[in-house]
Structure 1
Amino acid sequence: MAENHRPGYADWAVGNRGGDRAVEGYADRVSVAPGESFVLFVSAPTGWFRAEAFRMGWYGGALARRVWSSGRLPVREQPMPGARGTTRTVAAAWGPSTRVSTRGWPEGAYLIRLTAASGEQRHVPVTVRSRTTAGRVVLVNAVATWQAYNTWGGHSLYHGPGGKGDDAGRSLAVSCDRPYDRDGAPLFLTYEQPVIALAERIGLPLAYVTSMDLDREFGLLDGARAVISLGHDEYWTPAMRERITAARDAGTNIAFLGANACFRRIRLESTARGDRRLVVCYKSDWTHDPAYGKDDAAVTTDWREPPHARPENSLTGTLYESNPTSADYTVTEPGHWLFSGTGVTRGSRFPHLVGTEYDRVTGDPSTPRPIEVIAHSPLVCRGVRSFSDSAYYTAPGGAGVFATGTMRWVESLNGDGAHGIAPATAGFTRRVTENLLRVFAAGPAGRRHPARDNLAEHHPYAGDPVWTHQQLW
Structure 2
Amino acid sequence: MSTRRNFMGGIGAGLVAATGVKANAATDDDGPPSFGVEGYTDRLSYRAGDVIGLHVSTTAPHYSLEVTRLGAKDEVVLTQSNLPGALHPIPENASSHGCGWPVSRKITVPSDWRSGYYNVKLRVVDGGGKFIGRNNRIAEVDLFFIIRPANPGEGGSILLPLATNTYNAYNNWGGSSLYAYHGRDNLQGHRVSFDRPLAGLFRMWELPFVAWAERQGYAIDYCANDDLEFHPELLEPYKLVLSVGHDEYWSAPMRDHLEAFIGRGGNVAFFSGNTCCWQVRSEEGGRALTCWKQGYSQDPLFPTGDHRTLSTLWSHHLVKRPENQLTGVGFLHGGYHLSHGQFMDGQGAFTAHRPGHWAFEGTGLKVGEPFGGKHTVVGYECDGCEFEMKDGLPVPTHRDGTPEGFTILASCPAKWHPDDALWYDHFPRDSSGLPMPGASVLGTYDRGGTVFTVGTTDWSHGLRGGDPVVERVTKNILERLSK
TM-score surpassing 0.5? yes
Deviation at 1:157, TM superposition (A): 0.7
Residue number in structure 2 paired with 1:195: 209
Residue number in structure 2 paired with 1:10: none
Query: Among 293, 301, 322, which residue is 1:311 paired with?
Result: 322
In structure 2, give the amino acid aligned to 1:116. V
Deviation at 1:160, TM superposition (A): 7.1
Where does structure 1 lack aligned partners over 5 or more consecutive residues?
1-19, 416-423, 443-473
The answer to whether the 8 Å contact 1:199/1:437 transfers is no
Q: Cα deviation per residue 1:153-181 (whole Å; 9 max; x = unaligned)?
A: 11001127656x82xx221110000012x
* 1:276 counterpart = 2:317: no
The residue correspondences of 1:164-183 to structure 2 (distance < 5 A) are: 166=186, 169-180=187-198
In structure 2, give the amino acid aligned to 1:129. R
Query: Among 246, 256, 271, which residue is 2:260 paired with?
Result: 246
* 1:83 counterpart = 2:84: no
Residue number in structure 1 paired with 2:10: none
Q: Cα deviation per residue 1:114-136 (whole Å; 9 max; x = unaligned)?
A: 12224332221111112454461
* 1:25 counterpart = 2:1: no
* 1:124 counterpart = 2:143: yes
Where does structure 2 lack aligned partners over 5 or more consecutive residues?
1-33, 126-136, 387-396, 418-434
Deviation at 1:335, TM superposition (A): 2.9
Counterpart CA distance in 1 for 2:123 and 2:468 is 35
Counterpart CA distance in 2 for 1:389 and 1:89 is 35
Which is greater in Rg? Answer: 2
In structure 2, give the amino acid aligned to 1:260. N
In structure 2, give the amino acid aligned to 1:348. P
Counterpart CA distance in 2 for 1:22 and 1:343 is 54
Residue number in structure 1 paired with 2:476: 435
The residue correspondences of 1:154-165 to structure 2 (distance < 5 A) are: 154-159=175-180
Compare 36-45 and 312-321 and name the one that shifted more: 36-45
Residue number in structure 1 paired with 2:71: 57
The residue correspondences of 1:34-433 to structure 2 (distance < 5 A) are: 34-58=48-72, 63-83=73-93, 89=96, 91-104=98-111, 105-117=113-125, 118-134=137-153, 136-159=157-180, 166=186, 169-180=187-198, 184-185=199-200, 187-270=201-284, 275-292=285-302, 293=304, 295-320=306-331, 321-323=334-336, 324=340, 325=342, 326=344, 327-328=346-347, 329=349, 330-346=351-367, 347-351=369-373, 352-362=376-386, 363-365=397-399, 366-379=401-414, 382=417, 385-395=437-447, 397=448, 399-415=449-465, 426-433=467-474
Q: Cα deviation per residue 1:312-346 (whole Å; 9 max; x = unaligned)?
A: 00110011132334533222223333233334333
Report the CA distance shift for 1:161/1:434 in structure 2 as closer, same or farther (over 3 A).
closer
Counterpart CA distance in 2 for 1:370 and 1:122 is 48
Deviation at 1:278, TM superposition (A): 0.5
Report the CA distance shift for 1:291/1:378 in structure 2 as closer, same or farther (over 3 A).
closer
The answer to whether the 8 Å contact 1:204/1:441 transfers is no
- How many residue pairs match? The answer is 394
- Matched residue SS, 2:372: strand
In structure 2, give the amino acid aligned to 1:341. G
- Matched residue SS, 1:71: strand
In structure 1, give the amino acid aligned to 2:149. S
Counterpart CA distance in 1 for 2:295 and 2:208 is 35
Counterpart CA distance in 1 for 2:301 and 2:118 is 35
In structure 2, give the amino acid aligned to 1:364. H
The answer to whether the 8 Å contact 1:34/1:107 transfers is no
Report the CA distance shift for 1:55/1:247 in structure 2 as closer, same or farther (over 3 A).
same
Report the CA distance shift for 1:427/1:114 in structure 2 as closer, same or farther (over 3 A).
farther
Q: Cα deviation per residue 1:276-325 (whole Å; 9 max; x = unaligned)?
A: 10111111222322233174322211111143320000110011132334
Report the CA distance shift for 1:427/1:76 in structure 2 as closer, same or farther (over 3 A).
farther
Counterpart CA distance in 2 for 1:23 and 1:432 is 43
Q: Cα deviation per residue 1:246-287 (whole Å; 9 max; x = unaligned)?
A: 1111111111111111111111111xxxx2101111112223
Counterpart CA distance in 2 for 1:192 and 1:21 is 32
The answer to whether the 8 Å contact 1:190/1:411 transfers is no
Report the CA distance shift for 1:218/1:381 in structure 2 as closer, same or farther (over 3 A).
closer
Counterpart CA distance in 2 for 1:343 and 1:121 is 48
The answer to whether the 8 Å contact 2:328/2:403 transfers is yes
Deviation at 1:209, TM superposition (A): 1.4
Q: Structure 1-normalised TM-score?
A: 0.77
Report the CA distance shift for 1:299/1:267 in structure 2 as closer, same or farther (over 3 A).
same
Counterpart CA distance in 2 for 1:119 and 1:435 is 46
The answer to whether the 8 Å contact 1:157/1:172 transfers is yes
Report the CA distance shift for 1:161/1:192 in structure 2 as closer, same or farther (over 3 A).
closer
Q: Structure 2-normalised TM-score?
A: 0.76
In structure 1, give the amino acid aligned to 2:473. V
Report the CA distance shift for 1:21/1:46 in structure 2 as closer, same or farther (over 3 A).
closer
Deviation at 1:31, TM superposition (A): 0.8
Deviation at 1:384, TM superposition (A): 5.5
Residue number in structure 1 paired with 2:30: none
Compare 233-242 and 118-127 and name the one that shifted more: 118-127
Counterpart CA distance in 2 for 1:22 and 1:258 is 35
- Matched residue SS, 1:215: helix
Compare 405-414 and 149-158 and name the one that shifted more: 405-414
Counterpart CA distance in 2 for 1:380 and 1:29 is 37
The answer to whether the 8 Å contact 1:232/1:407 transfers is yes
Residue number in structure 2 paired with 1:11: none
